[in-house]
């Protein structure tokens, strides 16, 4: 009897950290903001993406708190093992065991690539999203929770700046706080929190996370940008100033988006049939300013293809120039086929089978 009581006591101890009445004031404040953002919309089931890093484990912790408090069992925790590193499978196994101790069942999905070509980070990202979307459809849930935070958002801004992105590219990541693709809500509820905040949550709950050494390797652009941002912080860049500048950019971007929607509405026709997903653009579609044409065209490509990420700006600009110069006959980009037929441009989904 004593042994059973001891077991129950340990079980209660493990569950106590997920109590909605969190004693740690800093973690409680983070949870309350998380809960507020999650409750803004009607969501039907959740897939929590768990990479194993400190940020994703903080997301898993906050999700479990919400799950317990709201008595919602329609939460699914998924880790994708890309096998990009030799120790990734061992780390995935350890992650699963750690989470199970806290009554979080994490499903491990391993990428078994058929070809022997080197796996890239870009390919891994695409594979991961395909896995998540497929999992959501199988489980009949409509919400994917991602652990991106303020530092990710700031890094993406500078990465896009270094690549010469336009206004939309610079502000796009923050607009992805709550995005819908293929009937799935892709939600980033941690964008208001810093990496430091999430690391604090993880250390004071699981006291475990996977440290990916590539995050510190200057071989990758993101790592170099992270180093640059840390240097800027020492010279006066703070979160408040950055947000102030960013909000001004968002305001300007919203003004342009008004004319983008107007161009799409007045100068294009998109077939409502899912089995015949096509768009028909009049030549007047290409009479607006360059920025409005680029955005309008890119949005239609993304809607027709159903892809999460938009086509590359350089490729889209090249095709637009060919259309304007009347040199385009037929080409493909971003999962779409583009054809010039008489006085119209027809965009249809590329058949990849």
108-119 pLDDT tens trace:
999 876 555 554
- Predicted confidence at residue 166, as pLDDT, reads 82
Last residue of a domain, one of 198, 214, 230: 214
* Per-residue pLDDT, 98: 94
In terms of domains, do 306 and 188 share one?
Answer: no
> Residue 21 has what DSSP assignment?
S
Q: What is the mean pLDDT of each run of 10 residues along the chain (353 residues)?
A: 42 60 86 88 89 95 93 93 84 94 93 59 78 92 93 90 85 72 88 93 93 76 89 87 90 93 95 78 94 94 86 90 93 94 92 69
| Residue that the structure tokens 């799950």 belong to | 67
Domain around 176: 13-214
Has residue 116 been placed in a domain?
yes
Would 241 be classed as within a structural domain?
no
Asked if residue 82 is part of any domain, the answer here is yes
Predicted pLDDT of residue 85: 78
191 plus 276 within the same structural domain: no
183 secondary structure, DSSP code: T
Q: How many whole angstroms separate alpha carbon 106 and alpha carbon 97?
A: 9
Q: Is residue 251 part of a domain?
A: no
Where does residue 156 rank: exposed (0-12), middle (13-18), buried (19+ CB within 10 A)? buried
How far is residue 135 from each of residues 46, 47, 71, 138, 287, measured CA to CA in Å? 10, 8, 22, 5, 42
> Coil, strand or helix: which one is 289?
coil
Task: Clarify whether residues 262 and 335 are in a common domain.
Answer: yes
- 201 lies in the same domain as 267: no
260 and 210 together in one domain: no
Does residue 231 sit within a domain? Answer: no
Instruction: Give every CB contact of residue 143 below 8 A, 6+ residues apart in sequence.
Output: 43, 44, 45, 46, 47, 136, 184, 185, 187
DSSP secondary structure letter of residue 287:
G
Q: Which whole-number Å values give the CA distances from 303 to 5, 10, 182, in the listed order?
A: 57, 51, 9
Quick one: 60 and 208 in the same domain? Answer: yes
209 and 313 assigned to the same domain:
no
Total number of domains constituting the chain: 2
Q: Is 208 part of a structural domain of the chain? A: yes
- pLDDT for the residue numbered 201: 95
Strand partners, 115: none
Same domain, 207 and 269: no
Residue (of 147, 221, 204) closest to 177 by Cα position: 147
CATH number at 146 reads 3.40.50.620
Same domain, 270 and 332: yes
């Amino acid at each position: 009897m004593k042994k059973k009581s001891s077991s129950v006591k340990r079980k209660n101890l493990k569950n106590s950290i997920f109590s909605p009445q969190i004693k740690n004031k800093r973690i409680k404040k983070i949870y309350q903001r998380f809960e507020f953002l999650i409750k803004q919309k009607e969501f039907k089931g959740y897939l929590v993406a768990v990479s194993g890093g400190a940020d994703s484990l903080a997301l898993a912790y906050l999700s479990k708190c919400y799950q317990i408090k709201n008595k919602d069992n329609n939460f699914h925790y998924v880790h994708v093992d890309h096998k990009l590193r030799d120790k990734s499978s061992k780390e995935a196994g350890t992650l699963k065991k750690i989470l199970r101790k806290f009554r979080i069942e994490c499903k491990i999905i391993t990428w078994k690539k058929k070809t022997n070509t080197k796996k890239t980070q870009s390919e891994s990202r695409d594979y991961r999203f395909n896995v998540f979307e497929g999992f959501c459809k199988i489980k009949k849930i409509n919400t994917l929770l991602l652990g991106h935070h303020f530092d990710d958002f700031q890094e993406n801004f500078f990465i896009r700046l270094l690549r010469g992105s336009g206004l939309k590219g610079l502000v796009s990541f923050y607009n992805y706080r709550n995005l819908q693709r293929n009937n799935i809500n892709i939600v980033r509820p941690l964008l208001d929190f810093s990496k430091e905040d999430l690391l604090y949550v993880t250390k004071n709950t699981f006291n475990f996370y996977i440290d990916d050494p590539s995050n510190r390797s200057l071989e990758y652009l993101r790592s170099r940008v992270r180093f640059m941002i840390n240097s800027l912080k020492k010279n006066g860049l703070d979160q408040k100033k950055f947000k102030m500048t960013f909000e001004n950019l968002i305001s300007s971007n919203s003004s342009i988006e008004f004319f983008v929607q107007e161009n799409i509405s007045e100068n294009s026709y998109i077939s409502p049939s899912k089995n015949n997903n096509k768009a028909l653009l009049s030549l007047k579609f290409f009479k607006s300013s360059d920025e409005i044409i680029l955005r309008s065209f890119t949005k239609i490509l993304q809607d027709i293809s159903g892809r999460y990420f938009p086509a590359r700006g350089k490729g889209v600009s090249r095709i637009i120039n060919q259309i304007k110069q009347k040199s385009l006959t037929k080409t493909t980009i971003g999962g779409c086929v583009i054809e010039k037929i008489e006085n119209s441009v027809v965009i249809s989904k590329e058949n990849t089978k």
